[in-house]
Amino acid sequence: MKIICIGRNYTEHIAELANERPKDPVVFLKPDTAVLLKGQPFFIPDFSQDVHHEVEVLVRINRIGKHIQPKFAHKYYDEIGLGIDFTARDVQQQLKEKGLPWEKAKGFDGAAVIGKWLPKSQCSAVDALSFSLEKNGQLVQQGTTAHMLWGIDELIGYVSQFFTLKIGDVLFTGTPAGVGPVAPNDVLVGQLEGEEMFRIKVK
């Protein structure tokens, strides 16, 4: 299973981190060992003092594909999910300053939360999905896929130029504004279309 992630896909998030708006989707990978095991808390790694939550809509690939045209991309997934791309922001900043890859900041153990999956048929149009993240009962992130720079089908078409997509691969589609740090004893709850998709305790 590959975890393919998209960065800088929401304008307001680009602005809050003072990043440059990309001409093409920003793509990076997480290893399968980054997936947080079901029912387990998220442990803040000891190498970071500034781990941030980034809530994201997910899709799970259901067939093998390469060079997929966006108009056919809807055939390659039938489930929508919600997750968190945990990011060691201090480590990422150090790597960015040196022009180095982000994997140490993005791919550590537990850095990929994958909540439950909903049938695509149960969701509204994939280009207008509403989602949110609460931290300790307070809304911290809220978004809609309508605000993506590149929609889900466009992203599948784009990444499949570089990586053959296989059954079970997961695509993280980017995060809206509102990212922020987590601390021990925080409780993170993600909702998609009003339905709770995950509940994570931070330790």
**pLDDT one-digit tens code per residue, 99-158:** 999 999 999 999 999 999 999 999 878 999 999 999 999 999 999 999 999 999 999 999
Strand (E) or helix (H) holding 95: helix 89-97
Name the residue with tokens 């989602």.
Answer: 131
Provide the CATH number for the domain around residue 124. 3.90.850.10
Q: Which of 15, 105, 9, 106 is nearest to 57 (CA)?
A: 9
Q: For residues 164 and 64, is the Cβ–Cβ distance under 8 A? A: yes
Distance in angstroms (rounded) separating the CA atoms of residues 86 and 106: 7
Domain total of the chain: 1
Enumerate the β-bridge partners of residue 117. Answer: 81
Report the predicted TM-score, pTM, of the whole model to 2 decimal places: 0.95
Q: Residue 178 belongs to what domain range?
A: 3-201
Kindly state the tokens that stand for 35: 């997936």
Place 8 in a pLDDT band, splitting at 50, 70 and 90. Answer: confident
Angle (nearest 5°) at CA 37 between 84 and 27: 40
